[in-house]
Every structure is written in structure tokens, then in C-alpha cells.
Amino acid sequence: MTATIRSVIDRVAGEFDRAGLHFGHGTDNAFDEAAWLVGHHAGIEPVDLEDHLDDTVSADTVKRIEETARARIQTRRPLAYLLHEAWFAGLKFFVDERVIVPRSLTAEFILERFEPWIDPGGVKTILDLCTGSGCMAIACAHTFPQARVDAVDLSPEALEVARVNVEQYGLRERVRLVRSDLFERLDDRRYDIIVSNPPYVDVGDIAGMPAEFRHEPSLALAAGDDGLSVVNRILSAARQHLTGHGILVVEVGNSREALERAHPELPFTWLTTLTGDESVFLLSASQLQ
């Protein structure tokens, strides 16, 4: 029987379901992950896949798909690492185990240009703290073509991956990679927008993480007993690095409640995603003051 894109996706999704895999690195279910895997090996990007479901798949391509599916099940490595590919804000990025797999909810708000909280036309400087693969910095550079972006990370290994992506998008002149412990090496630079998807996983959640997450660098995930060790440092110094009309946008995941308890004095604005998630906060420079 001739294999089609649709039939191979269905078969691989069934294998993933039976294996009890955890999804959370670019997809949230077996079917979507199987579609990503099959599309990758068939040379079809996710946005075009639906138009090719009835295309036939060669025996060699089916073999490569099956090998990757087997590795996904046996190793529990996130699919992004097996494919060296991740998608963020509609853009494709190179990734490996030196960085976490891009999945920040902030992508939606970048594509909306952070309106109405800032005038996009006035954005000239952006800072991405804990940049990892550089996905957020590069997405910001695409969305704000007039802006210069500093992409900061403490990990030299992560910055090597970010450099690959910056080069891939031809952004060397506009995206500057900086090895720094948050603001430490930024001197007195100020930014119209500071964004960050910092480590925010508390000790309890770290202990209970599925196997897939244990392939990611712990430096990019673990943030102390309450998940706030990095976020607190960002809050304490962000005002000194924002312009007068600047905004700070940070994702904190399950640490939202702990953050609100720790900082009742701050009037967090919780941004709502299309799925109703509210774990990304926004604060203006004046609110931080």
C-alpha cells in the first residue's frame, strides 16, 4: 500500500501515544508532533503541510521518519533536538542540547509588537535577557526592523547556538550577542523593551519533570526554591536599564503566584495568550520606579 503524508502521520502518532511520550517542546500532542516529524523529513514546512497530506512518501523518507520516531521513543529526547530544528514566532531556528527548546508564550506578544503598551514606531533598542538560542532576540529584530537588539546569556555554549541563528538570518549588524550575568556587562545601556524567558522552575517542579526536560540545560530552567531567583534580580535592576517610556516583559510560568506574593507592591499586567494563559507579565518603567 502506498504511504501518504497523512497515513504516515497517523501511524507515527499512534506509536507516540502508545509510548506515553511527554509533549511540551513545540507541540502538545502526539498528532502534531508526528506531523512535525513527517513534514521535516518530507521537506514540507508546518504551514504548508495541510496542502500535502495526500502526497506519497518515498520508501527512503519513510525509513528516515521511522528511525527518528524510534529515537524519540527510546531516548525521550525532545524532537527539536533530534531534528536540530525549532519554530518560534513563525521562524525556524537551529537548536541542540546547549539551549532549551524555544517555546516562550511571549512570541504572540512580539508578533503584536507589544501594542498597545508601547508605540512600535518609537522602539529603537531591545534587550533579550537569557537569550538561549537567540529566538526571541531574532523575532524582535524581525518585528522591529528599525531596532538594535542585545541578546544576553550567561552560557557561552548557548551563545554559540545563538550565533548560528543570528548568522542564518543575516542579523550580525543588528543583533549583538553578549555574555553576561543578566545586566552585569551592559554598563549604563538603556532599552525601550526588555524581554526575558528566564529560568523560573522551582525545586518542586524540577524534581517532577518528565524525562524530556532532563535533556535540557538545567541552567536555563532551575531558579531556586520558589522559582524566583533570577526574576527577582531582573526586577531589582530593570528600571536602571529602561528608557523613560520603556517596558519590561517577562515569562514566569508556574511561578506567577509566588511572584505576586513576593512583590505585592508591583502592579503586574498579565498578558493573555490566545489559549488564555496568563504567565507573562508586563511592567512599565514608571511602574518599576
Phi-psi region of 89 (alpha: psi -120 to 50; beta: other; left: phi over 0): left
Percent of the chain with pLDDT over 70: 100
- Note the Cα 137 to chain centre separation in Å: 10
Buried b (16+ CB within 10 A) or exposed e, 131-153: bbbbbbbbbbbbbbeebebbbbb
Reported confidence tier of residue 6, pLDDT bands at 50, 70, 90? very high
Encode pLDDT of 24-68 as tens digits. 999 999 999 999 999 999 999 988 999 999 999 999 999 999 999
The domain locations on the chain are: 5-83, 86-288
Encode pLDDT of 143-161 as tens digits. 999 999 999 999 999 999 9
Whether pLDDT at 222 is above 90: no
> What CA–CA distance (Å, rounded) separates 80 from 7?
22
Structural Rg of the chain based on CA atoms: 20
Predicted confidence at residue 175, as pLDDT, reads 98
Predicted confidence at residue 198, as pLDDT, reads 94
Mean pLDDT of the chain, nearest integer: 94
Predicted confidence at residue 221, as pLDDT, reads 78
What are 117's three cell numbers? 503598551
3 state SS of 252 = coil
Predicted confidence at residue 183, as pLDDT, reads 97
Encode pLDDT of 168-217 as tens digits. 999 999 999 999 999 999 999 999 999 999 987 878 878 888 899 999 88
Task: Judge contact between 249 and 195, C-beta under 8 A.
Answer: yes
Predicted confidence at residue 173, as pLDDT, reads 96
> What CA–CA distance (Å, rounded) separates 182 from 231?
10
Whether pLDDT at 1 is above 70: no
> What CA–CA distance (Å, rounded) separates 36 from 48?
11
> What CA–CA distance (Å, rounded) separates 171 from 115?
24
3 state SS of 249 = strand
Predicted confidence at residue 220, as pLDDT, reads 83
Taking Cα atoms as reference points, which of 78, 113, 72 lies closest to residue 96? Answer: 78
Buried b (16+ CB within 10 A) or exposed e, 216-230: bbeebbbbbebbbeb
> What CA–CA distance (Å, rounded) separates 30 from 23?
7
Question: Count of alpha carbons within 13 Å of 165, Cβ hemisphere only?
Answer: 33
**Assigned CATH topology for domain 86-288:** Rossmann fold (3.40.50)
Q: What backbone torsions phi and psi does residue 26 show, to the nearest 5 degrees?
A: 115, -20
**Assigned CATH topology for domain 5-83:** Helicase, Ruva Protein; domain 3 (1.10.8)
Q: Which amino acid is at 232?
A: N
Predicted confidence at residue 90, as pLDDT, reads 93
Predicted confidence at residue 185, as pLDDT, reads 97
> What CA–CA distance (Å, rounded) separates 242 from 236?
12
**How many CB atoms lie under 10 A from the CB of residue 173?**
8
**Which of the pair, 104 or 133, is modelled with greater confidence?**
133
